[in-house]
Amino acid sequence: MNLPSAGFAQPSETQDCTTTKRDTVDHYQIIAERFQNTLESAAMSVDQLADPIASACELITQALLQDRKIISCGAGVDAALSQLFSNSLLYSLGEERPALPAISLGWDAGASPTAPAAHRFSHTLRALGQEGDVLLTISSAEPDPSVISALEVAGERGMTTVALCNANDIPDAMFSITINGTTRRTVVELHTMVLQTLCELIEASLFGTGH
């Protein structure tokens, strides 16, 4: 039994297929360009980033061998990358291995509402950071005041500081890994690759390539 339509025009099979095909092509074009741009940016960054990443690996590996811990932080979207880095050290994404001492500083829900946002990381860092520990900060845009404050506290406590940043250099850091991306989205993507590569190098340095 054919029921009458409720006043809506029913598109023909030809129209529906044409619309679907057009939408798919549009989506495909965006996806293809996005992937292509990311791959090109990554490939062009290898020569610039290889030595800084290797040096950061050596700093962090030496700290871990001396029973120190790795603390990371970032504001906004960079907080997610900080958590990713910390989790990747605690829980290997590759072969099974012992957990590495890593902490990602986040926003403390129990902090006083009157506490300045610029000290969201430094307050915790004063309690947890020790001489010889490593602080890795992540800034995909202009460095957040909370990150600058954390670097200052880390310096006061004798910690080694590494800044993963964009074209905006961070003078308070002892060591920098600088990404020159055309957009912040590209910088975030390359930061993710740098952090995962750094974790892989640290694992290889500590446990060998076949752990």
Tens of pLDDT along the chain (211 residues)? 555 444 545 555 555 555 555 555 679 999 999 999 999 999 999 999 999 999 999 999 999 999 999 999 999 999 999 999 999 999 988 889 999 999 999 865 445 555 567 788 999 999 999 999 999 999 999 989 999 999 999 999 999 999 999 977 787 899 999 998 889 999 999 999 999 999 999 999 999 876 5
What CATH number does the domain containing 130 carry? 3.40.50.10490
What are the structure tokens assigned to 114, written together?
A: 């009157």
In degrees rounded to 5, what are phi and psi of residue 103?
A: -135, 135
Residue 161 inside a domain? The answer is: yes
Model's pTM, two decimal places?
0.83
70 within a domain of the structure (yes/no): yes
* CA distances in angstroms from 77 to 56, 84, 120, 130, listed in the order given: 22, 11, 15, 27
What is the span of the domain harbouring residue 202?
49-207
Q: Is residue 10 part of a domain?
A: no
Domain count for the chain: 1
**Residue 29 lies inside a defined structural domain of this protein:** no
